[in-house]
Amino acid sequence: MKQFKWVIILAAAAAILTVVFIFVDKHTQKEKEREAIGGPQQLISFEPSQTDRISVDNEDGHFEFKWNPDEAEWQLTAGDKFNVNSYAIAAICNYLCNLKSLKTVSSDCADTSIYGFDHPVTLKAYTTDTGEDHPYTLYVGDHTPTNNAFYAMIEGSNDVFTISYEAGSIFCVAKDTLKNMYLFDTFSNLVTYYKQTRDGELVAEMTRAEDYSWNLNAPGTYSVQKANIDNMMDILVRVTVESYVAEHPTDLKQYGLDNPHDILVLKGKKNTSTMEEEIWFGGDASDTEIYGYFKNSEQVFRVKKANVSFLNTKLSSYVYPYCAEIAAADLSAIEADLSAAADLHFKLDVDTENAQYSLDGKDITALHNDKANTLFQNLLRSLIMLQFTDTAPYAKPDPEAEAAMFIKFTYKDGHERTLRFIEFETNNYYVMDDSKYTGLTIRMNRFEGTGSIPYNYQELMNTLK
């Protein structure tokens, strides 16, 4: 009888426990369902490579960007004109195409304005799958009170979610962030044209040829050094804007841009398209920055002075450094009168093919003296590789004026060419090629010191003695 009673008690206990278990299980299941509803959700998902167009509406205006597959970049198709920061648009696309919420803040919210949706940032992504009529749309409101997330909504729902602060910051992009920060955004070898004027006077106008060499269009007809120009282009294409200041300004004077000291006109290529930019440089924005102006898009910006120091580079830095392009192998004789510099007048006979050299009739080769031969070669090089000091393309010296010094080169075919040095101020001379002005000047110090023509002449004479 007792055993039977215990069986009844145990059965009742088991029944009670079963009921309790079912109740707890249902409660747990409901809690999980609630958590699932309020937890992370996939808000938007699409293939980024299928994105055709992205629009951004924020407090700065309405902007549309279309993907150009030929140029592999985003291009502005609606809104204020400016050079696009393609990386900023790509970031928006990449975050939007796989957007998940952190949690659901409010389901079927009756008043979304408390989360900042009375004036949200609106993003729309148009893809080849959904077409023009069905973009993926995201609304971004305020950031949360703890500044660790942003409120967000998707089209067709009144649910309010939170998304990561990083994603929200990408979506709430300022207009200036949408602008390209590079002065001229291409590769240095794709810059095809460079023109600089300073205070209204042309500094240099250069065009790149099909073989990537550079030709100086103006001023003058100088031969240029490709390596030096290429180095400058490497610097130019890396220069970035520090910040944008104003759009479509009505008063350029406050930035010193009503009369810019330097103006650059640049042309180049980017993928398959051509590009052109005119950039002005004006007054000081600070001790270390100056104001600049993109003329095409009417954008005022600040840039570091040090980053555009190439504007101060003289034309002479890009020009072939010698007074004349002369090859020793083409010569038979050189006569030099440097009486203004060192009271020197001498003549070299030169036959590089047979290695026969003489100085004022004295056969250097016959001496069989290695040192004398080397010193003769030094003197020869200093004559044919005499470096100018500066360029002065706008000077107009009198071609009939008497030369203070000269170097006359006689070629194997018998014709002569004379570099004449006409003084225009104390110790400074115009360089004339026969009667034609070269656009070059040379200072007296080029004829002084170690390595100069008088120095090498004296070294040779000391050895001959």
| pLDDT tens per residue across span 325-338 | 999 999 999 999 99
User: Contact 336/344 with Cβ under 8 angstroms?
Assistant: yes
Share of the chain above pLDDT 70, in %: 92
Sort strands 356-359 and 345-351 into parallel, antiparallel or unpaired: antiparallel
Radius of gyration of the chain (CA): 39
Of the given ranges (13-17, 189-193, 260-264, 341-345), which has the lowest mean pLDDT?
13-17
Q: Encode pLDDT of 156-166 as tens digits.
A: 899 999 999 99
Q: What is the pLDDT of residue 79?
A: 72
Q: Encode pLDDT of 100-142 as tens digits.
A: 999 999 998 989 999 999 999 999 999 988 878 889 999 999 9
Residue 14 clears pLDDT 90, i.e. is over it: no
Of the given ranges (155-159, 253-257, 276-280), which has the lowest mean pLDDT?
155-159
Residue that has been written with the tokens 């919420």 in this structure: 101
Residue 35 clears pLDDT 50, i.e. is over it: no
Element (H, E) at 155: none
User: Contact 281/295 with Cβ under 8 angstroms?
Assistant: no
Q: What is the pLDDT of residue 270?
A: 86
Q: What is the pLDDT of residue 404?
A: 96
Residue 24 clears pLDDT 90, i.e. is over it: no
Torsion of CA 66, 68, 74, 80, to 10 degrees: -50
- In degrees, to the nearest 5, what angle opens at C-alpha 226 toward C-alphas 224 and 232? 105
Q: What is the pLDDT of residue 413?
A: 93
Q: Encode pLDDT of 435-448 as tens digits.
A: 999 999 999 999 99
Q: Encode pLDDT of 175-198 as tens digits.
A: 999 999 999 999 999 999 999 999
Spatial distance between the Cα atoms of 27 and 30, rounded to a whole number of angstroms: 5
Q: What is the pLDDT of residue 18?
A: 58
Question: What is residue 236's three-state secondary structure?
Answer: helix
Sequence-distant (≥ 6) Cβ neighbours of residue 315 within 8 angstroms: 203, 204, 219, 222, 391, 393
Q: Is 84 left (phi over 0), alpha (psi -120 to 50) or beta?
A: beta
User: Contact 430/441 with Cβ under 8 angstroms?
Assistant: yes
Sequence-distant (≥ 6) Cβ neighbours of residue 67 within 8 angstroms: 51, 52, 53, 73, 74, 75
Q: Encode pLDDT of 86-103 as tens digits.
A: 889 999 999 999 999 999
Residue 72 clears pLDDT 60, i.e. is over it: yes
Sequence-distant (≥ 6) Cβ neighbours of residue 283 within 8 angstroms: 255, 256, 257, 290, 291
Share of the chain above pLDDT 90, in %: 77
Q: Encode pLDDT of 389-435 as tens digits.
A: 999 999 999 999 999 999 999 999 999 999 999 999 999 999 999 99
Residue 19 clears pLDDT 70, i.e. is over it: no
Q: Please give the single-letter amino acid code of residue 405.
A: M
